[in-house]
Structure 1
Amino acid sequence: MIGGGIAGLASAALLAKEGHDVTLLEAQSTLGGRAGVWESDGFRFDTGPSWYLMPEVFDHFYKLLGTNAAAQLHLTRLDPGYRVHFESDVDPVDIAADRASNTALFERIEPGAGKALDRYLDSAEDTYRVAVDRFLYSSFESMGQFASREILRRLGRLGRLLLQPLDRFIAGYVNDPRLRQILGYPAVFLGSSPDRTPALYHLMSHLDLADGVLYPQGGFATIIDSIAGLARAEGVEIITDARVTAILTRSFAQRAAVTTGVSYLDDTGHVVRLAADNVVSCADLHHTETELVPVGHRTYPERWWRRRVSGPGAVLVMLGVRGELPQLLHHTLFFTSDWKENFGRIFGRRPSVPSPASFYACMPSVTDAAVAPDGDSNLFLLVPIPADPTLGHGGIDGSGSPTIEAIADRAIEQLSEWAGIPDLAERIVVRRTIGPADFAATLNSWKGGALGPAHTLRQSAFFRGSNKSARVDGLYYAGGSTIPGIGLPMCLISAEILLKRMNSDTSPGPLPEPR
């Protein structure tokens, strides 16, 4: 198993429980991958995912290992779920933890929008249930799942949802630009923009506007710790500081190559060859295919990637702030008025850094006293930018590349102005930034992207990369750059799809949970 992020740990745990002898190799000294953690002067920051959505996916995964989410995590429901500041409006909007309150909110902002939201969320929930039952847990190895009565009955509608962009779909329900932004922003979770994301993904609104948002006390590193513990309990050997340098293969005449294991550099710099019947790479798929797989055996060579679209890059800003910040919630979003221009700069033919930028702020200290000194605030900013490692590295206390630090400075200034915190910059006592070059260097991320390949039509479902090599027998993939896609829940599902693929299980839905 290559990679100790959530997909690698989850895959290792499931395969070990199935009876496989599993060794997991992680290049870094710590586990978690994108879901990392950084600590300084009593402040603790999650360096990656910070939204706990699709709770049933987490619970289902844990049940496959004989436990459940309640036993593994201490989850808190956020209410309000998040706050939105708009460039065009001095008054922020708070999104509640329940559907009825959000319906009333939409109605107050735009008469008639409450009933429209009800219709929208009915559609989102129905689409979500179909996706879970028929698509998300599928390897797409067999197309027979599309011949089911449930799919055939919805075929016309599903086709329209795939072909119509999300922003145009939303425009059919509400007119107020603020409401359109609230319904459209989940496209960013998918590494895309509302005008490039298929309307099928309006199902995401079911997750935050109806299901609500949760938070695991202790931060998202507790999820990594719990899954790593379960993997070890199943017998998985986890080796850190082990950078895989090649996937080893053997070729036969008139047959596909077969994998024989991997070579890696250990913590002393020595080359180690590890034999294996199967290799699962949960590393970035581009890195795996263009760097680790031998030339001539690559399913996804460089020319394949030239036709693909990366999700956005990002500047991450971790700030330890003296005192409390009552103007912010656990999750706060900042939206510029001209979204088209904002997203155009990130995904357009001539990318550039947006200014002002739409960005996201997370302040877990309002929910979790353990992540900051008593009375102080832990503040994490994520500023979407083009996926471009040449923009530079981040650093501690302003020591990053000038471009990255300037982006961070503008975001701090913008937050200070929009949220009404004029002395914010003066109260910062801890600061660290991360840029696209860091994602490329530490995570081998394609183009320095923060998330993975964008969920456009050509990069969703069976159009996304397969989880099995077409040229090397015994080589499989899992994680955010393969099916089903980006995000912690998707990575857990990816691990389950891997298990099904290795067992030649072509069923479309989740595996049965043990009693």
Structure 2
Amino acid sequence: MNRRTTNPGTGSPPRAAASGPPADGSLRAPDGSRPSAVIIGGGISGLATAALLARDGHEVDLIEAREEVGGRAGSWERDGFRFDTGPSWYLMPEVFDHFLRLLGTSAAEELDLRPLDPAYRVLCEGYEEPLDLSASAARNADLFERIEPGAGLGLARYLDSAASTYDMALERFLYTSFTSPRSLLHPAVLARGPQLLRLLAEPLDRFVARRFRDPRLRQVLGYPAVFLGSSPDRTPSMYHLMSALDLTGGVQYPQGGFTELVDVIARLAVRHGARLHTGTRATRVLTEDHRGGRQRGAHLGGGPGRRAAARGVEIRTADGEVRELRADVVVATADLHHVETELLPRRLQTYPASWWSRRTPGPGAVLVLLGVRGALPELAHHTLLFTRDWDENFGALREGRVPSPASSYVCRPSATDPSVAPPGHENLFVLVPVPADASLGRGGVDGSGDPAIEEIAEEAIARLAAEAGIPDLTERIVVRRTIGPGEFAEDLGAWSGSMLGPAHTLRQSAFFRARNASRRVEGLLYAGSSTLPGIGLPMCLISAELVAKRMRGDRSSSPLPESEHVAGAPA
């Protein structure tokens, strides 16, 4: 699917026929009509929410301000190169499989997934030998043992704990909106209560340091904090569960890139009847003050202090027309800071500016997209470059300084996927974490970005060339584009220009994270990385499912059952 032509602009093309009856058999009103929902934002979470609600029998309209869907999971093409500009790690495959089965299909049917081995390569400053992390836990244990005697057994124990914690998270904490205490009072949770409290209280870096001495091993096990928009010293050690993903089952890659995943979910949303409108900006959430009468139920948001009910969204189309799109429910999947502070009046904001002033954004990023002539065997599909002084690196980010030298991440998808670069060329995506500060500026093509962004890019390219042993890298670059925090803030509405969303610190994780329903506006729900359960593509899919559960009044901590969906899947 060409995501630029999916129900574009102002029109409302003929709606695809909905498949089968509403899944729970209870959605039609007495007059035979179906409840309607407007979804703000066409990123992964918005598309996923549109697909699930349309599958459940709702009339769904999704509005996206940009001319293409995908949000942070975007793409850019030039001269035969195609770059993903967002997520690039396919982790938690069971979450993707479950979500697609809810829509009557599977990852095996929709995606051409390739296992990566090595899963990723690590280049540590001051060490000549790269570390290749494998899809095999046993081989990773052998690697750890070669570096530090006794660390092989230590890793096996660490991964056992990570896997057990991950299973507990899937079963009890990720698929719940915490509207009921039952998930926390389950016997399995109570039995592990003291251990879980310790994992919440102790930061990840200290948890790792008590088990391993070598700084390289500590970095490998602490790095997952960056996936969570945080740092190892501020991330609860509960998240050591992330190592159960990349060090045991390995990492996969969908051929065609992550743009293929976006297209799959968009296609499924349309197939189930959702209408997708690009080039259409939400300018205001329409509300109606409560004046007594029956309310629709706490599962649709609101609380004792609820003041209004959602009635739709005011939109501005690409040709400048302003009109109202009425609906029974509004689901905002755009950046929560933008939705709360820009689309609602102050009296109806659950999370006003004062709330955000006490929260911590994840880091910003400078992205460097490079088309390179010739082969680059020195790099794996995923390569991490770690600086020696991590404390300074993360400290600089917290203090609003750009670290120099900076740790960085490099993706070389052309190692696996020949479609992303012309023959005889390589495709590189370089990510440099920087402070979440939109004033750093915007990037550009061929060095035309703001000076601060281009300077960061130049240093990252030079360090990659030196650390990976590619002395002529700069001379071989034939395509170059940079993207800075300014684009994240202005083009995606990201709070402070963060590339990910609110960091997963203790105060911003699990039941402490922003909830997925307004307390002031009934029928206004939220999904995406700003809210439960958090950052990352799998979490965004789960956040969409949490909205579907709320719409059903399902307060369980379990995923939605798959059987009813598979049985009613479209042909």
TM-score (norm 2): 0.89
Tell me, yes or no, if the aligned pair for 1:405 and 1:433 is still in contact at 8 Å. Answer: yes
Are positions 1:24 and 2:35 aligned together? no
* Distance apart, 1:107 and its partner CA: 0.5
Aligned to 2:446: 397
Aligned to 2:213: 175
- After superposition, the CA RMSD in angstroms is 0.7
Tell me, yes or no, if the aligned pair for 1:247 and 1:294 is still in contact at 8 Å. Answer: no
| 3-state SS, counterpart of residue 285 of structure 2 | strand
Residues 408-443 of structure 1 show CA distances to partners (whole Å, capped at 9, x for unaligned) of: 000000000000000000000100000001000111
* Distance apart, 1:91 and its partner CA: 1.1
Among 352, 356, 377, which residue is 1:305 paired with? 356
Tell me, yes or no, if the aligned pair for 1:281 and 1:288 is still in contact at 8 Å. Answer: yes
Which residue identity lines up with residue 352 of structure 1 in the other structure? R
* Distance apart, 1:97 and its partner CA: 1.0
Among 190, 195, 205, which residue is 1:157 paired with? 195
Moved more, 91-100 or 201-210: 91-100
Among 503, 520, 526, which residue is 1:477 paired with? 526
* Distance apart, 1:243 and its partner CA: 0.8
Tell me, yes or no, if the aligned pair for 2:368 and 2:482 is still in contact at 8 Å. Answer: yes
Are positions 1:324 and 2:375 aligned together? yes
Whole-Å Cα distance in 2 between the matches of residues 325 and 145 of structure 1?
Answer: 49
Which residue identity lines up with residue 93 of structure 1 in the other structure? L
Whole-Å Cα distance in 2 between the matches of residues 452 and 237 of structure 1?
Answer: 27
Whole-Å Cα distance in 1 between the matches of residues 401 and 80 of structure 2?
Answer: 36
Residues 375-410 of structure 1 show CA distances to partners (whole Å, capped at 9, x for unaligned) of: 100000000000001101000010000000000000
Tell me, yes or no, if the aligned pair for 2:363 and 2:434 is still in contact at 8 Å. Answer: yes
Which residue identity lines up with residue 65 of structure 1 in the other structure? L
Whole-Å Cα distance in 1 between the matches of residues 161 and 126 of structure 2?
Answer: 29
* Distance apart, 1:504 and its partner CA: 1.4
| 3-state SS, counterpart of residue 479 of structure 1 | coil
Aligned to 2:107: 69
Aligned to 1:279: 330
Which residue identity lines up with residue 362 of structure 1 in the other structure? C
| 3-state SS, counterpart of residue 48 of structure 2 | helix
Among 309, 318, 324, which residue is 1:267 paired with? 318
Whole-Å Cα distance in 2 between the matches of residues 434 and 467 of structure 1?
Answer: 30
Aligned to 1:378: 427
* 1:219-368 mapped onto 2 (5 Å cutoff): 219-253=257-291, 256-347=307-398, 350-368=399-417
| 3-state SS, counterpart of residue 62 of structure 2 | strand
Whole-Å Cα distance in 2 between the matches of residues 206 and 130 of structure 1?
Answer: 12
Whole-Å Cα distance in 1 between the matches of residues 560 and 313 of structure 2?
Answer: 30
| 3-state SS, counterpart of residue 22 of structure 1 | strand
Whole-Å Cα distance in 2 between the matches of residues 272 and 30 of structure 1?
Answer: 21
Which residue identity lines up with residue 454 of structure 1 in the other structure? A
* Distance apart, 1:61 and its partner CA: 0.1
Moved more, 423-432 or 501-510: 501-510
Among 438, 451, 457, which residue is 1:408 paired with? 457
Whole-Å Cα distance in 2 between the matches of residues 354 and 183 of structure 1?
Answer: 21
Among 128, 137, 143, which residue is 1:90 paired with? 128
Whole-Å Cα distance in 2 between the matches of residues 477 and 226 of structure 1?
Answer: 22
Which residue identity lines up with residue 477 of structure 1 in the other structure? Y
Tell me, yes or no, if the aligned pair for 2:378 and 2:469 is still in contact at 8 Å. Answer: yes
Aligned to 1:461: 510
Residues 431-465 of structure 1 show CA distances to partners (whole Å, capped at 9, x for unaligned) of: 00000010001110000000000000000011000
* 1:89-108 mapped onto 2 (5 Å cutoff): 89-108=127-146
Are positions 1:139 and 2:177 aligned together? yes
Tell me, yes or no, if the aligned pair for 1:242 and 1:264 is still in contact at 8 Å. Answer: yes
| 3-state SS, counterpart of residue 52 of structure 1 | coil
Q: Report runs of 4+ in structure 1 exceeding 4 Å deviation.
A: none
Whole-Å Cα distance in 2 between the matches of residues 206 and 399 of structure 1?
Answer: 41
Are positions 1:42 and 2:63 aligned together? no
* Distance apart, 1:253 and its partner CA: 4.1
Tell me, yes or no, if the aligned pair for 1:313 and 1:449 is still in contact at 8 Å. Answer: yes
Whole-Å Cα distance in 2 between the matches of residues 341 and 407 of structure 1?
Answer: 17
Are positions 1:204 and 2:242 aligned together? yes
Residues 178-235 of structure 1 show CA distances to partners (whole Å, capped at 9, x for unaligned) of: 0000000000000000000000000000000001000000000000000000000000
Among 469, 478, 481, which residue is 1:429 paired with? 478
| 3-state SS, counterpart of residue 128 of structure 2 | strand
* Distance apart, 1:501 and its partner CA: 1.3
Which residue identity lines up with residue 315 of structure 1 in the other structure? V
Tell me, yes or no, if the aligned pair for 1:80 and 1:95 is still in contact at 8 Å. Answer: yes
Residues 252-304 of structure 1 show CA distances to partners (whole Å, capped at 9, x for unaligned) of: 24762011111111010111210011000000000000001122100000000
| 3-state SS, counterpart of residue 346 of structure 2 | coil
Whole-Å Cα distance in 1 between the matches of residues 510 and 558 of structure 2?
Answer: 14
5+ unaligned residues in a row in structure 1: which ranges? Answer: none
Which residue identity lines up with residue 309 of structure 1 in the other structure? T
Among 82, 89, 103, which residue is 1:51 paired with? 89
TM-score (norm 1): 0.99
* Distance apart, 1:357 and its partner CA: 0.3
Whole-Å Cα distance in 2 between the matches of residues 145 and 186 of structure 1?
Answer: 26
Q: In percent, how many aligned pairs have the same letter?
A: 62
